[in-house]
């Protein structure tokens, strides 16, 4: 059944664009209002999906129904033992006979491959995964995307942008800024984009932790000062550091597991997970636990007015990076 599909994975931009491609090929623009139905998979009922699917198209032979962020494919506490309600079983049976005039697509980020509905679509329909690309794949995607916006990008610049963006949605947004800023210039190089490229707070925290792990407190403090100058709040920076240390502790506790097992258990974005795995090697479990305690104490001290946030975080960085 080619008219029953599941698109899942971390890269929602790729999923969105694939659906747009299918919609453009299937439905004329003037009939989109009647022959394209988008449903919120977090709240829509099975009956509402069935009604949307069985309604016949108007003025053409085909229609497209997309259930975005479908909840049916993720594990829930009540379904981990494989027991699902009769209603869900009835819905699964319906999916085996989706009318030929309807193209039904489900999208979601994570899937539990043990679930009946996933196995059914895998057997009867088409399942496509859209995983986060490797750094090399992402850099090549950036170069190709830049061409779409009428520019050429130096490979080193593409790698720089790939490294300091999270998913392709953010990458694309930053790329639009860079290409617009380039004006008439046709080729974009790394040294030209560093001053205008907006590295996310999260990525700056990664860099800060890198320098702490490499025992280079001055470079870590330089990043802290840049963030404060950009208007970031010290308490927010400390929270992000604390959150990242918790991720490192979790990764460290699973250091004997393989990448896929760690990814499944921690449910971190692949970009974040890869950075955490690399950085966890720079610290012992005890160092990370002690750092987390210091973070928590510093948070209390800042909120109680016992210490200035900038000075407190600088002392924290120095303490960790010289230990």
**pTM of full prediction above 0.75:** no
CB atoms within 10 A of CB 201: 14
Residue-level pLDDT at 60:
94
State the pLDDT confidence band at 66, using cuts at 50, 70 and 90. Answer: very high
Domains, the chain:
4-129 (3.40.50.300), 135-193 (1.10.8.60), 201-321 (1.20.272.10)
Residue range 128-175, pLDDT digits in tens: 999 989 989 999 999 999 999 999 999 999 998 898 888 899 899 989
Res. 80: pLDDT tops 80 = no
Indicate the average pLDDT of the chain. Answer: 89
Residue range 252-300, pLDDT digits in tens: 999 888 888 888 888 887 878 888 898 888 889 999 999 999 999 999 9
Specify the higher pLDDT residue, 281 or 68.
68
Integer Cα distance of 60 and 11 in angstroms: 32
* CA 62 centroid distance within chain: 32
Res. 215: pLDDT tops 90 = no
Average pLDDT over residues 93-106: 95
Cα angle 25-107-93, degrees, rounded to a multiple of 5? 95
């Amino acid at each position: 059944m080619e008219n029953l599909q599941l698109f899942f994975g971390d890269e929602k931009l790729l999923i969105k664009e694939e659906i747009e491609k299918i919609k453009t090929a299937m439905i004329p623009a003037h009939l989109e209002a009647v022959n394209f139905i988008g449903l919120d998979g977090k709240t829509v009922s099975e009956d509402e999906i069935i009604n949307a699917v069985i309604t016949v198209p108007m003025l053409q032979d085909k229609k497209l129904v997309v259930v975005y962020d479908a909840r049916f494919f993720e594990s829930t506490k009540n379904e981990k033992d494989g027991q699902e309600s009769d209603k869900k079983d009835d819905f699964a049976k319906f999916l085996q006979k989706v009318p030929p005039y309807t193209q039904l697509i489900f999208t979601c980020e994570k899937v539990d491959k043990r679930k009946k509905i996933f196995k059914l679509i895998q057997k009867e329909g088409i399942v496509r995964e859209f995983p986060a690309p490797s750094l090399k794949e992402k850099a090549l995607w950036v170069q190709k995307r830049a061409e779409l916006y009428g520019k050429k990008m130096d490979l080193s610049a593409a790698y720089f942008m790939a490294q300091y963006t999270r998913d392709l949605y953010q990458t694309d947004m930053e790329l639009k800024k860079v290409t617009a800023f380039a004006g008439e210039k046709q080729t974009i190089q790394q040294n030209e984009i560093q001053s205008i490229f907006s590295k996310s707070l999260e990525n700056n925290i990664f860099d800060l932790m890198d320098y702490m792990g490499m025992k280079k407190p001055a470079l870590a403090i330089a990043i802290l000062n840049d963030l404060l100058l950009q208007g970031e709040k010290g308490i927010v920076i400390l929270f992000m550091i604390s959150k990242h240390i918790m991720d490192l502790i979790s990764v460290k506790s699973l250091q004997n597991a393989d990448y896929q097992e760690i990814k499944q258990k921690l449910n971190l974005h692949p970009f974040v997970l890869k950075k955490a795995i690399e950085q966890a090697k720079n610290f012992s479990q005890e160092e990370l636990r002690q750092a987390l305690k210091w973070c928590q104490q510093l948070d209390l001290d800042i909120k109680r007015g016992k210490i200035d946030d900038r000075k407190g975080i600088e002392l924290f960085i120095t303490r960790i990076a010289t230990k």
